[in-house]
A = this chain, B = another copy of it.
Amino acid sequence: MSLILTFLGATSTHRIKIAVTAAKLLSGQGKRVLLAGNMEPTMSMLLNFSVGCDPQEIAINLHVVYLQASVLLERSWNDIKQLESEYLKTPLLKEVYGQELAVLPGMDSALALNAIRQYDESGNYDVIIYCGYGDSRTIRMFGMPDFISWYWRRFHQLFVNSDIGKILTEAPIIQTLINNLFNFNWMDNNFVHPIDQTISFLEKGKEAVADPKRVVAFLVSTPEILELAACRYLWGSSQQINLTVGGLILVTSGNMDAKNMIPGEFSPLAVSVFPDRSTSDWQILMDSLPDFEAQALEAPKPIEINVCERKVSLFLPGFEKKQIKLTQHGPEVTVEAGDQRRNISLPSSLIGRSVTGAKFQHNYLIISF
């Protein structure tokens, strides 16, 4: 299992420079590092190496790869066609070629997350540095396991309980018809197996994102007030998907004292100063990076649940009270902050209970049941 490290912030060239520096630093410390980026040319230019769609070793312990969505889609498509041909007598998809498929919005995030999961499971890397878009898209990407498992819980149950669901699962005529079309019995238990696998995979993904030893983000900003504000918004948004933010890396051209340059609003995050200088000084750049793993463990937890007191505390920096909404329409409690909505998985003792109170103070939303 790898540590997955990512960077959030308004200036992509700064984020990529820091990701490359971190990859050099950690691989130099003996960790097996995979640096995975988008197709934009910045990473190749900084590494002075033409990065491809399969990991290549460019220095001891340092592999690099571009997560090219169109290629990942092509590969996934071949897997899907293979699976279809195993299950269906008359496969539909065999005439569509992976090389034709255009990438729709959202596919790139799903494919990148899946690629990171596979690299993680390969056991080949101690650290995977994901150099993504560094904004709310990266946050939504890491939120996918949680969101999809919610959609599944909510809609699967509705469907099973519905008239249509009952007819489909009970009517022998439908089953006979489907068995005639396909050469397998999709209603028997074999069909449940891949669904169980999917659920377990989503649960594993949720656990990984929530664990600061597995996934952690660092904020990257200049001292400019607009960039700092954007960063603070990304900090709060990350908390909404249970993603730990381990610290703030401030990119400056001067040698000013970091503590004086940024407002107290980033407390209690640790702040590091990264000099905005040429990459001919890799050593100076590497020396200015924080200890990512240690800081991740010290950062505030996005959520804490106190079962005895029937209280759930969410750490939501970067938002004002009026930007946070709490609703309890469905079976779960939903918190909306910024543009992230989250259904909170409650322990069994709190499930089904109504919210009796909520207050927002010192960046914490405290919900009582």
Contact = CB atoms under 8 A, between A and B. Distances in A.
Interface of A: 10-13, 16-17, 38-42, 45-46, 68-70, 89-90, 92-93, 95-97, 99-110, 133, 135-137, 140-141, 143-144, 146-148, 150-151, 154-155, 158-159, 162-164, 167, 173-174, 177, 181, 224-227, 229-230, 232-234, 325, 327, 329-330, 332, 334, 336, 338-343
A6 to B, nearest CB: 15
Contacts of A12: 10-11, 135, 230
B106 A41 contact: no
Contacts of A338: 39
Contacts of A106: 104-107, 109
B92 A159 contact: yes
Contact of A69 (B104, B107, B146, B339): B339
Residue of A46, A68, A137, A327 ringed by the most chain B CB atoms within 10 A: A137
A230 B136 contact: no
A181 B154 contact: no
Contacts of A227: 13
A286 B261 CA distance: 30
Contacts of A343: 100, 102
Contact of A38 (B13, B41, B136, B155): B136
Contacts of A144: 104-105
Please state the number of chain copies in the assembly: 2
Residue of A93, A177, A341 ringed by the most chain B CB atoms within 10 A: A341
B334 A226 contact: no
Residue of A42, A105, A151, A158 ringed by the most chain B CB atoms within 10 A: A105
Contacts of A100: 154, 327, 329-330, 332, 334, 341, 343
Nearest to A334: B100
Contact of A101 (B16, B99, B103, B341): B341
A61 B39 CA distance: 39
Given A40-B233, A70-B340, A162-B92, A97 B330 contact: yes
Given A16-B226, A70-B339, 12 more contacts: A13-B226, A41-B232, A45-B225, A92-B159, A99-B329, A100-B330, A102-B151, A104-B140, A104-B147, A105-B106, A105-B110, A105-B140
Contacts of A230: 12-13, 40-42
A163 to B, nearest CB: 4
A223 to B, nearest CB: 12
A225 to B, nearest CB: 8
Nearest to A158: B92
Contacts of A232: 41
B226 A158 contact: no
Going nearest first, the 3 A-B pairs with the smallest beta carbon separation are: A106-B106, A105-B109, A97-B329
A162 to B, nearest CB: 5
B38 A339 contact: yes
A46 B226 contact: yes
A229 B42 contact: yes
A68 B339 contact: yes
16 contacts: A13-B230, A41-B233, A90-B162, A92-B164, A96-B330, A97-B327, A99-B325, A99-B336, A100-B332, A100-B343, A102-B151, A102-B342, A104-B147, A137-B137, A164-B181, A173-B177
A180 to B, nearest CB: 9
Contacts of A340: 70, 102-103
